[in-house]
Structure 1
Amino acid sequence: MNRHETEKKALEQTAIDIFMELYNLNHEQPLKLVRQQEKPDALLEDAEQNRVGLEVTHLFYDEEEARLMMARSELPKPGTEVLDRFIHVINDRVRSKEEKFKDYSHEQPCMLLIRNVSLLFGMSDVLGRKHKLALPRGQFTQVWLLSRDFTPDWLLINLNEIEGK
């Protein structure tokens, strides 16, 4: 495994760990990780041995922000006019994952986890533009957004269940 693949797997594992911690705090049926894999990225199981796949994607505002974040640079907060572009990035990522889903194992249902690692936009920014989100229909059983909101704490929301859609 090369350095890029190792870093990608580590990012996925961190996202899965945070997701499961928050999910299990807020749901009666806790999930556990069966294994990390490819297509989808993880296989999870509840106490009744019902299995579900979890596809993970990481979201940056753009490639420049991704490079800056990896270098741990300070990023200025952009004007609100670029928030719509960020929502467009989310929509493109969801559509891309939905298209790739066709090649996945369909032995069990699959959820999509979008981990927002943008330092420019937080959960409140995304929810403030929720009417512009274009979520997949029918491919993923649930679409989860894992994001901070300019605090150290991670927040988790099922985008399929937000009001005002």
Structure 2
Amino acid sequence: MLRYNREKHDLERAAAAIFIGIYNQNHTPKLRLLYQRERPDAVLQIQDPLQRQLGMEITHLFYDSEEAKRLLGRSKNHAHSQELIELLVKELNYRIQIKEAKISTYATEYPIALLIRNASPSFGMSDILREKHLLYKPQGKFTHVWFLSRDGTNEWLLKDLNRL
């Protein structure tokens, strides 16, 4: 369990760092990671005169559990079935709904955003955007629902699903 918690912490830290880098290139005021914790996963500081805080719940999107195991080095199975974008979108929708239910149990004095990092190498940002009509509409529990994904290159892209 300790290895899993360390790995989860490292994945969340990496996602937060990628997010902050892209966000700060395109927005002001800038953000910085204040600290990591469990509920929410990270707390960011808004670099303005008020030094406000923003909570961030972080999740990673994999096509399925077998892909997650394979990418995290826990599976010796290198073969995989043909993947369908509709199934990845279904998993994305499920992740948003699970996080919305979880956020209702948090007691924080600051707003919370959701960051979804697409870890699946099979589909990228353009694939998700092409299927935006299938996306679950977030219910306003998060200030933003950020989607972080590659799109056939090593460059990360960032979209707010609330604004699609």
**What TM-score do you get using the length of structure 1 for normalisation?**
0.90
Q: Are 1:75 and 1:119, in contact at CA under 8 Å, matched by a contact in 2?
A: no
Provide the C-alpha distance between the structure 2 equivalents of 1:135 and 1:55, rounded to a whole number of angstroms: 17
Secondary structure of the residue aligned to 2:143 is coil
Q: CA deviation at 1:135?
A: 2.9
Q: CA deviation at 1:70?
A: 2.0
Residue in 1 that maps onto 2:28: 28
Secondary structure of the residue aligned to 1:54 is strand
1:65 aligned residue (54, 63, 67): 67
Stretches of structure 1 that go unaligned for 5 or more consecutive residues are none
Stretches of structure 2 that go unaligned for 5 or more consecutive residues are none
Q: For residue 61 of structure 1, what is the amino acid of its counterpart? A: Y
Secondary structure of the residue aligned to 1:61 is coil
Secondary structure of the residue aligned to 2:34 is strand
Percent identity between the aligned chains? 45
Aligned CA distance change for structure 1 residues 77 and 146 (closer, same or farther; 3 Å): farther
Q: For residue 86 of structure 2, what is the amino acid of its counterpart? A: D
User: What is the aligned length?
Assistant: 160
**What TM-score do you get using the length of structure 2 for normalisation?**
0.91
The aligned runs of 1:45-84 (5 Å cut-off) are 45-48=45-48, 49-71=51-73, 78=82, 82-84=84-86
Provide the C-alpha distance between the structure 2 equivalents of 1:41 and 1:84, rounded to a whole number of angstroms: 28
Q: What root-mean-square deviation, in Å, do the aligned CA atoms of Structure 1 and Structure 2 show?
A: 1.8
The aligned runs of 1:10-29 (5 Å cut-off) are 10-29=10-29
Q: Are 2:138 and 2:162, in contact at CA under 8 Å, matched by a contact in 1?
A: no
- Indicate yes or no: 2:144 matched with 1:142: yes
